[in-house]
Amino acid sequence: MPRSTSSAPAEVPARAGHPGAAGADAPAAPRRSLLSAGRGTALLAAGLGVLLLAVVTSLAVGAHQLNPAEVAASLWTEITGTGSTYADDVVASRVPRTVLGLIAGAALAVAGVIMQGLTRNPLADPGILGVNAGAAAALVTGMAFFGLSATSANVWVALPGALLTVLVVYGLASGRRGSTPVRLVLAGTVISAVLMSFIQAIALTRPEVFTMYRFWAVGSLSGRTMEQAYDVLPFFLVGLAAALATGRSLNALALGEEAAASLGLRPQTAKITGALAAAVLCASATAAVGPIGFVGLAVPHIVRSFTGPDHRWLLVLSAVVGPALLLFADVAGRLVAQPGEVLTGVITALLGAPLLILAVRRMRAVA
């Protein structure tokens, strides 16, 4: 992996208003690593344009094709509650999966940025703290022992399971001086392995549980309802607000904990805040649409190839690019297997892999 894929300490600029600015003793860095406000705004505008295109495509494309004018008219009908046509019904059926695609894509991408920044590991993704395994274990437990079957109830089972797993991982990784990236990764790996063994044992011995679990385990936006979006929306908004506030802290932590502390940052507080924000984001996305992979790994690298290592812009732009990638993957899944569809989690890997390779090659070219 090229060195530019991680937020190396030497790439954090030292200037006024930036975490690297701490007088004459602050570590210096090349100015090229700092994304200017003008370029950042231009990238954000371009990203929002792509996201708008993804939303319109998600609402218009499927087994029944609609044009943008029909989509706009149907959305207006949905808002005002006037009239009802076949096109209105088609758009109304696609709104929940589009809204959940926006939520899950932004949550997974931003969580991926935070986990890569905290662990200083370019291969880290949101599941590194055992969030996906915790959500899946809670869901399987509910299916096997409490008769869980309604999709609308999955959120309130998977969400606490994911959050509880994160607390356990932190408890195991914490020492006298707090947690370290290495201990977090090891604890997350161990807990994930234990929970996945539990899941396999239950699923293989109870065929009815395996039947329900196998569709959720791949991750998909299909078959979801607006109630699920409403359930996870408060957690998503809280997690996103906390995550966006960690940009300067992540830039400072990229210098190393000792340097960050000398700049007035409390490293352990910053790490706990960032990790909890990532956990809430990933847990809400996983609870709603299943453990969709590759978004949290690929999107931060794709965005970083344009923004550099400045986490302030990296977090914002990842929150825009993530849902766009997820929605385009969902649309592709509907088109390749008509009249059926391929689950979104499969398509994200197929789309994300080449994009990640191109991003890495771009970063190598500009390094």
Q: What is the pLDDT of residues 25-41, one digit of tens each?
A: 433 333 345 678 888 89
Q: What is the pTM of this model?
A: 0.83
- Tell me whether residue 326 is in a domain: yes
In this model, does residue 66 exceed pLDDT 70?
A: yes
Split into its structural domains, the chain has a count of: 1
- Tell me whether residue 53 is in a domain: no
Q: What is the mean predicted confidence (pLDDT) over 112-136?
A: 85
Phi, psi of 231 (to 5 degrees): -65, -40
- Tell me whether residue 366 is in a domain: no
Residue 44 to residue 240: CA distance in whole angstroms: 17
pLDDT of residue 7: 42
pLDDT of residue 365: 60
- Tell me whether residue 37 is in a domain: no
User: What number of H helices and E strands is found in the chain?
Assistant: 14, 0
pLDDT of residue 2: 43
- Tell me whether residue 33 is in a domain: no
Single-letter residue type at 362: R
Q: What is the pLDDT of residues 350-359, one digit of tens each?
A: 877 787 787 7
- Tell me whether residue 3 is in a domain: no
Could you tell me the sign of the dihedral formed by the alpha carbons of 76, 79, 84, 90, in that order?
positive
In this model, does residue 21 exceed pLDDT 80?
A: no
Residue 239 to residue 237: CA distance in whole angstroms: 5
pLDDT of residue 77: 84
**Among 3-7, 75-79, 109-113, 150-154, which stretch is predicted with the lowest mean pLDDT?**
3-7
Provide the domain limits for residue 239. 65-361
Residue 258: which CATH number?
1.10.3470.10
- Tell me whether residue 51 is in a domain: no
The crossing angle, in degrees rounded to 10, of helices 86-119 and 311-335 is: 140
pLDDT band, residue 153 (cuts 50/70/90): low
Residue 94 to residue 367: CA distance in whole angstroms: 42
Query: 292 vs 339, which has greater pLDDT?
Result: 292
Q: Classify the phi-psi angles of 325: left when phi > 0, otherwise alpha if psi is within -120 to 50, otherwise beta.
A: alpha
Tell me the average pLDDT of the chain: 82
Q: What is the mean predicted confidence (pLDDT) over 250-265?
A: 84
Residue-wise burial string across 159-179, b where 16 or more C-beta atoms lie within 10 A, e elsewhere: bebbbbbbebbbebbbeeeeb
Q: What is the pLDDT of residues 297-307, one digit of tens each?
A: 889 999 998 98
- Tell me whether residue 10 is in a domain: no
